[in-house]
C-alpha cells in the first residue's frame, strides 16, 4: 500500500530527485550528502540513482567548494550545494556576494548563475552561538540574491524545485525543526504550479500576524488557541523575503488595523524591520496601534539549557502581543510536556 503521507524532509528529497531527473547536467554536492544519515534524510537515494559523478560528498572547504559551484554554474551546469549549518557556509561569503550575486548584472544580463545553496538553521540541544544563526535578513540585503525561507510541508518541495530550476543564485534556508512535519501527500502543491511567495494561511479580521520558517508554526498554534477565545487572527506566510507580495500584506493590515511581525532572526535590522517599515509607509492611517515585532534578542544564543529557555520566542509571546493590541486580557500557558530545546518528545536527533 502506497504511503499517503509525507514529511518536510521527504518533500525536500523528492524535489531534488525531480530536478536531477529533469536536468541531466545538474550536480548536487554537500558534506555528508551520501552518508547513512543523508543530511537528516533530505538526500536519501540521490547518489544511488544519479551516480557519484553527479551527486558527491565534498571536503570541509566551504569557500573553495562554493567557488567550484559558482564556476560550474556560470559555465552552464545547474548546481545544488547543501551545508548542514548556515554558520559553516559563512567562510564562503566573498564567493557568494562578490561573484554569484553580481555576475548577471556585471555581464549585462547575458550570463546566469543557476546555483542554489541549501543552508540549515540549527536550534536546541546546546547548539550555541555558532550553530543556530538565522541570517535571512543578511542574505536578503544583497542585490542579485534570491532568498527562500520555507515553513510548511505542503509547498516546501515546490519552493526548492523552483529555486533549483531558477537561473539566479538562491539561498534556501531550512529550519532543522521543520523536517519532521507530516501531512497528507495529496495536499502538497504541484511543483510546476504558480508559486505564492506570500500566502494567507489562516483568515481572520482582528489581528494580522506575519511569519515564516519555524515562527509560522508558532503563529498557527497561536491562531488556533485564540480562535477558542473569540479572537480571529489572520496569519500570513512570507516564504521569499526578496520577493514579497506586498499587496497581500497591505490588504490584511487595512482590514485588521493591527499587525504583529515575527522573525526567526534577531530583532534589529531584520526582515520584520523591513516589513514593518513598508507597512508604515503604505498603511499608516489604517493602524490603530504601533506594529508589534517579535524576534530574537540582539545577542548570540547561549549554549546553556537554562539560558535558552527565554531566548526563543513562542506562541506565548505572540498571544501577549495580541492581548496588548486588542486591550484584552488573554493568557496562554505552555501546554508542552517536553524540554524547551527540542521540537517534540519524539525527537531523538541528530541535530
Read off the pLDDT of residues 26-38 as tens digits, 9 standing for 90 and up.
Answer: 999 999 999 989 9
**What are 56's three cell numbers?**
558527491
Model-level pTM? 0.96
Task: Locate all alpha helices (DSSP H) within the chain, ordered by sequence.
Answer: 8-22, 38-41, 46-50, 62-74, 86-89, 93-95, 103-106, 136-140, 153-165, 214-228, 246-256, 271-283, 315-326
What percent of the chain is predicted at pLDDT more than 70? Answer: 97
Task: Locate all alpha helices (DSSP H) within 23-56, ordered by sequence.
Answer: 38-41, 46-50
Per-residue confidence (pLDDT) for residue 2, from 0 to 100 = 62
pLDDT digits (tens, 9 = 90+) for 47-80: 999 999 999 999 999 999 999 999 999 999 999 9
- The helix/strand/coil state of 271 is helix
What's the whole-number mean pLDDT along residues 253-257? 98
Given a cut of 60, whether residue 180 has pLDDT beyond it is: yes
Residue 170 · residue 115 · CB < 8 Å: yes
Q: What domains does the chain contain, in order, with CATH numbers?
A: 5-187 (3.40.50.970), 198-326 (3.40.50.920)
Lowest mean pLDDT among 1-10, 240-249, 310-319: 1-10
Angle at 70 between CA 53 and CA 350, to 5 degrees: 65
Given a cut of 50, whether residue 1 has pLDDT beyond it is: no
Given a cut of 80, whether residue 303 has pLDDT beyond it is: yes
Instruction: Look at 308 and 11; give whichever has higher pLDDT.
Output: 11
Amino acid at each position: 500500500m502506497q504511503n499517503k503521507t509525507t514529511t518536510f524532509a521527504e518533500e525536500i528529497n523528492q524535489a531534488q530527485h525531480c530536478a536531477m531527473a529533469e536536468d541531466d547536467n545538474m550536480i548536487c554536492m554537500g558534506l555528508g550528502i551520501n552518508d547513512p544519515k543523508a543530511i537528516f534524510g533530505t538526500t536519501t537515494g540521490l547518489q544511488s540513482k544519479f551516480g557519484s559523478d553527479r551527486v558527491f560528498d565534498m571536503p570541509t572547504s566551504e569557500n573553495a567548494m562554493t567557488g567550484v559551484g559558482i564556476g560550474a554554474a556560470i559555465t552552464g551546469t545547474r548546481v545544488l550545494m547543501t551545508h548542514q549549518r548556515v554558520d559553516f557556509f559563512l567562510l564562503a561569503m566573498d564567493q557568494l556576494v562578490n561573484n554569484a550575486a553580481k555576475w548577471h548584472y556585471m555581464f549585462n544580463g547575458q550570463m546566469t548563475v543557476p546555483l542554489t545553496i541549501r543552508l540549515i538553521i540549527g536550534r536546541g540541544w546546546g547548539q550555541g552561538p555558532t550553530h543556530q544563526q538565522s541570517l535571512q535578513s543578511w542574505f536578503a540585503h544583497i542585490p542579485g540574491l534570491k532568498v527562500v525561507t520555507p515553513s510548511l510541508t505542503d509547498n516546501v518541495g515546490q519552493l526548492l524545485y523552483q529555486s533549483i530550476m531558477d537561473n539566479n543564485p538562491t539561498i534556501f534556508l531550512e529550519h532543522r525543526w521543520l523536517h519532521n512535519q507530516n501531512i497528507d501527500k495529496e495536499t502538497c502543491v504541484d511543483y510546476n504550479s504558480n508559486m505564492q511567495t506570500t500566502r494567507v494561511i489562516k483568515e481572520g479580521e482582528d489581528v494580522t500576524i506575519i511569519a515564516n520558517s519555524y515562527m509560522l508554526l508558532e503563529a498557527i498554534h497561536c491562531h488556533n488557541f485564540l480562535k477558542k477565545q473569540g479572537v480571529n487572527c489572520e496569519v500570513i506566510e512570507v516564504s521569499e523575503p526578496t520577493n514579497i507580495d506586498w499587496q497581500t500584506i497591505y490588504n490584511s493590515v487595512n482590514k485588521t488595523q493591527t499587525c504583529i511581525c515575527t522573525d526567526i532572526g534577531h530583532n534589529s535590522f531584520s526582515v520584520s524591520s523591513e516589513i514593518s517599515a513598508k507597512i508604515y509607509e503604505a498603511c499608516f492611517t489604517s493602524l490603530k496601534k504601533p506594529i508589534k515585532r517579535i524576534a530574537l534578542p540582539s545577542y548570540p544564543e547561549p549554549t546553556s539549557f537554562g539560558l535558552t529557555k527565554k531566548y526563543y520566542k513562542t506562541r506565548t509571546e505572540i498571544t501577549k502581543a495580541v492581548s496588548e493590541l486588542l486591550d484584552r486580557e488573554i493568557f496562554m500557558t505552555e501546554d508542552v510536556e517536553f524540554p524547551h530545546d527540542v521540537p517534540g518528545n519524539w525527537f531523538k536527533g541528530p541535530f
